Amino acid sequence: MQIRLNPEQRKAVEHGDGPLLVLAGAGSGKTRVLTARVARLIETCEIPPHRILSVTFTNKAASEMRERIEALTGGEARGLWIGTFHSLAARLLRREAGHSGRERTFTIYDEDDSLRCIREAMEACGLDPRRWSPRALRSRISSAKNALVGPSDYAVSAYDLLSRAVADVYPAYQKLLSRRNAYDFDDLLFDCVQVLEGVEEVREKYAEQFLHVLVDEYQDTNHAQYRMVRAFAGRHENVCVVGDDDQSIYAWRGADLRNILDFERDFSGASVVRLEQNYRSTASILQVANAVIACNVARKPKNLHTEREAGEPILVARTPNERREASWVTSQVRSLDGSYGCGDCAVLYRTNAQSRAFEEALRRAGLPYRIVGGVPFYERREIKDVIAYLRLAVNPADDAAFARAIGWPRRGVGDVTLDRLREEATERHAPLLETAASAAEIEGITAAARRSLVDFAERLSRLREAQGAMSARGALESCIKSFGLATALAEEEDGADRLENVSELFATASSFDRTEVEDAAAEASDLELYLQTVALRSEIDDVEFDGEAITLMTLHNAKGLEFPVVFLAGLEEGLFPLSRALDAEGGIEEERRLFYVGVTRAMDRLYLTYADRRWRAGTESRSSPSSFLDELPDDPIERRLTGGASRRTQRWSTGPTGVAGGGSVTSPWTGTGGGLGSASGGYDWRRSVRRAAGSEARPSQDPEELRYDYSDTQVPLELKPGARIVHPRFGEGRVLAVSGAGREAKAEIEFEEVGTKKVVVAYAGLRPA
């Protein structure tokens, strides 16, 4: 085996039978250990790959691990069960469809679908969506499912008014999902446990099949996932879990720290291996990380150490506002020139909304960047619309997909017709699509709408019959042709962009490889498997990190990654730690762990930034420095004040006194007063940044080649806000804002004669004044 290991790592890799807990500190090489262990099980212990189950946190991690194991074993990884809890659950439920409450072709509902479904369930129960927030109800139901509490169990202990409302909606919601042959994310886990625990035949089958079970990021598992592990581990209990209680950041999603803290009690006779040598960060960064996490009480003590040198000090920068924060970060990236490229840098923040300022600054500076998350690709309207057709072709009971598909492109079927159809469908206990097929017999629908419905149903059933024998790409192509989707899209206002997104969808469908999800021999069609993969895909899965672009993402998305240069932005009280997160029990500790995760992403350089003022929710307000900054040690820290246009930079000689819990620190850094008035840069950013949504990382013609091409997103130089221009019809005017790019670029212009108008740059025939 060609992998270098330290003694502790080796111990974990070579551990024989029985439960094993690997407490792996940040950067201690746990992925290496997991990979090596699986490879060793296959090669040395001669365990057939299909008898090994390995659970990872993201699909990306799964495919990377699969690749590495294949490399290590010379292609012997085929048949290995590897994936996220959700994708493995989906796989199991597909295979055991006969024992679960759904058919094999089930749809997986995303948040949006499930929220609509909740609304419908509420209506059915007569609950007023203005009195009860559908989101709140959904989140309660989600927590219940993660704790394996079903509708009837829930009802038993529902005392307060909110719980009573939930108790009403929960069963109604489940009934709707079941009728639509759909699962929400939580159901996948819930039903998987139900089947595993409730059906002896199934339980035996998998307990028998899996000789070894490995789980990564065990600290982030919830109760349902824990029960899955238990069921899979069966009697042999050859279960190896890897995790770090200090990096648990998903309590809000039901993750239960007790899973890892109590592992030794749960699985008696468990061996424990501690990986405490960090191979990633400089001593300075690690020193800060250790100091930060030491402020938490609920944790297993550990001693993370490194052999690396101290390296550069950690830079803490105070800036006047979030725009200056972003431009400061940009200037720092530039000043790294030579030692690090853009691809080495990451900007991490607490909330997605913070990406905006960085986007603007980087775009202005002409630096390449990529954003992970934000408005996910698969949630774009046109993508969801196209997918709805495919979903319906696979699962005709999917009423949510029907409603989406019938409404776009417009075909003379609106709310009125749809409502009538729903009534009829409810009466017949039939799905909407089936009802639509016999629309001719339904009263109260116009003749035109009837024809539309019948035609729609016919085309769809043709697609349905054809797709079974097609590749995912073929099905997509045939769907787009049959329903004229591309044509419809092209006719829309911003059709060009949307069409590009659809061609990107083509690329993903073309490269879809079913063997990563399921055995080639499984009954399911390519399209079925493709759709389920799409539903469980996360943004981070599709990111290639080898490009030369600065990565912008939330701290949550950064888990498991590392970068030579890391900027942690927005270290302000209320933002990070986020005030809303503090409501939850143990909230501050979870936020601190998140901070710890951020700090430990950095290999060589770490920057922490905060702003005195920040735009949030449409208003600018004062912000004070994060209490986390008070918890930093004095030593490898250098504090900077980045002020007005002169970029006043100071070294801070009189360090703050307190470390942990050290009350308020009065220094020019933590006070909010500061003599730094609003920086008057000369021109108003707020106006210049009003651009079209979704301007990040637009895929271009050849998605394979140019995944992130920003060349066409630059605003033409002469059309910057403030520029004076002449329009052939409207006369002279001043540019207020520019949006879009290339042929799509539009400019908002204040004309002297006719007032403010929006024009499409390509057609307007503008000249400089």
Q: Which of 175, 481, 686, 758 is close enough to bind DNA by CB under 7 A? A: 686
Q: Is 413 in the site for DNA (CB under 7 A)?
A: yes
Sequence-distant (≥ 6) Cβ neighbours of residue 439 within 8 angstroms = 421, 445, 449, 450, 453, 454, 457
31 annotated active-site: yes
- On the question of a cis peptide bond just before residue 320, with omega within 30 degrees of 0, the verdict is no
Which member of 7, 618, 661, 677 binds DNA (CB under 7 A)?
A: 618
417 touching DNA, by CB under 7 A: yes
Structure tokens at 144: 């219940």
The CB-of-589 to DNA minimum distance in angstroms stands at 13
Instruction: Report the nearest approach of DNA to the CB of residue 1 (Å).
Output: 30
The span from the CA of 174 to the CA of 17, in Å, is 40
In which element (H, E) is residue 318 found? Answer: strand 314-321
Which CA distances in Å does 624 have to 406, 591, 613?
A: 50, 17, 8
Measured from the CB atom, is 109 or 328 closer to DNA?
109
DSSP 3-state assignment of 4?
coil
* d(C-alpha 405, C-alpha 399), whole Å: 10
* 556 is a contact residue toward DNA (CB under 7 A): yes
Nearest distance in Å: CB 385, DNA: 13
Residue 277's nearest CA partner among 306, 246, 300 is 306
- Beta strand 563-568 with 345-349 is parallel
601 has catalytic annotation: yes
- By the rule CB under 7 A, 411 interacts with DNA: yes
DSSP labels, 684-729: -HHHHT---S--SS---S-TTT-SS--GGGSPPGGGSTT-EEEETT
The reply to whether 709 belongs to the active site is: no
193 vs 449 by CB, closer to DNA: 449
Does 86 sit near DNA (CB under 7 A)? yes
Among the listed ranges 81-89, 285-293, 517-525, 671-679, the one in contact with DNA (CB under 7 A) is 81-89
Contacts 24+ apart (CB under 8 A), 98-105: 99/195, 99/199, 99/201, 99/202, 100/191, 100/194, 100/195, 101/178, 101/191, 102/178, 102/181, 102/182, 102/183, 102/191, 103/181, 103/395, 104/523, 104/524, 104/528, 105/181, 105/394, 105/395, 105/524, 105/528
Which residue's CB is nearer to DNA, number 40 or number 537?
537
Which position among 8, 9, 30, 420 bears the catalytic label? 30
- Give the interface segment with DNA, choosing from 30-38, 197-205, 509-517, 612-620 (CB under 7 A): 612-620
Q: Which stretch binds DNA (CB under 7 A): 79-87, 98-106, 312-320, 664-672?
A: 79-87
186 is catalytic: no
Choose which of 67, 71, 98, 135 interacts with DNA (CB under 7 A).
Answer: 135
3-class state of residue 384 by DSSP: helix
Measured from the CB atom, the residue of 40 and 356 that comes closer to DNA is 356
* Region of 268-276, 535-543, 639-647, 712-720 interacting with DNA (CB under 7 A): 535-543
Q: Which of residues 45, 79, 133, 423 is near DNA by CB under 7 A?
A: 133
Could you write out the three-class secondary structure of 437-498? HCHHHCCCCCHHHHHHHHHHHHHHHHHHHHHCCCCHHHHHHHHHHHCCHHHHHHCCCCHHHH
**CB 559, min distance to DNA, A:** 9
What is the token pair recorded at 611? 């702003």
| Other beta carbons less than 10 A from residue 500's beta carbon | 17
- The burial of 31, by beta-carbon neighbours within 10 Å (0-12 exposed, 13-18 middle, 19 or more buried), is given as middle
Task: Sort residue 566 into left (φ over 0), alpha (ψ -120 to 50) or beta.
Answer: beta
Q: Does 538 bind DNA (CB under 7 A)?
A: yes
253 near DNA, rule: CB under 7 A: yes
Tokens representing 719 are 């059309």
Q: Which of residues 38-67 bind DNA (CB under 7 A)?
A: 58
Q: Least distance (Å) from DNA to the CB of residue 200?
A: 28
Query: CB of residue 636 vs DNA: minimum separation in angstroms?
Result: 28
Q: Closer to DNA at the Cβ: 324 or 411?
A: 411
Given the complex with DNA, which of 310 and 736 has the nearer CB atom? 736
Q: Considering the candidates 9, 174, 194, 247, report the single residue annotated as catalytic.
A: 247
Q: Is 262 tagged catalytic?
A: no
416 lines the binding site for DNA (CB under 7 A): yes
Cα gap 670→679, rounded to integer Å: 19
Contact pick of 107, 174, 501, 557 for DNA (by CB under 7 A): 557
Of the candidates 371, 323, 255, the one whose C-alpha atom is nearest the C-alpha of residue 686 is: 323
* DSSP H or E run through 299: none
Binding mask 432-471 for DNA (x = CB under 7 A): --------------x--x----------------------
- Binding DNA (rule: CB under 7 A), the pick from 14, 17, 67, 111 is 111
551 touches DNA by CB under 7 A: no
Single out the catalytic residue among 10, 11, 31, 253: 31
- The count of residues interacting with DNA (CB under 7 A) is 48
Is residue 705 packed enough to be buried (19+ CB in 10 Å), middle (13-18) or exposed (0-12)? exposed
Q: How far is the CB of 134 from DNA (least distance, A)?
A: 9
Contacting residue, 175, 690, 724, 758, with DNA by CB under 7 A: 690
Nearer Cβ to DNA (445/476): 445
Separation between Cα atoms, residue 648 and residue 63, nearest integer Å: 47
Could you give phi then psi for residue 622, rounded to 5 degrees? -70, 145
Q: Does the annotation count 217 as an active-site position?
A: yes
518 binds DNA (CB under 7 A): no
Of the candidates 440, 584, 760, 762, which one interacts with DNA according to CB under 7 A? 584
Distance CA 193, CA 197 (A): 6
Report residue 695: phi and psi, to 5°. Answer: -85, 0
Instruction: List Cβ neighbours of 447 (8 Å cut-off, separation of 6 or more).
Output: none
Counting contacts by CB under 7 A, is residue 758 touching DNA? no
What mask of x and - would describe binding to DNA in positions 331 to 360, judged by CB under 7 A? -------------------xxxx-------
Give min distance, CB of 197 to DNA, in A: 20
Shortest reach from residue 7's CB to DNA, in Å: 34
Cβ proximity of 53 and 88 under 8 Å: yes
267 vs 369 by CB, closer to DNA: 369
- Report the interface residues with DNA, using CB under 7 A: 58, 84-87, 110-111, 133, 135, 185-186, 252-253, 350-353, 373, 410-417, 446, 449, 536, 538-540, 553-554, 556-557, 578, 580-581, 583-584, 615, 617-618, 686, 689-690, 693
Catalytic positions = 30-31, 216-217, 247, 601
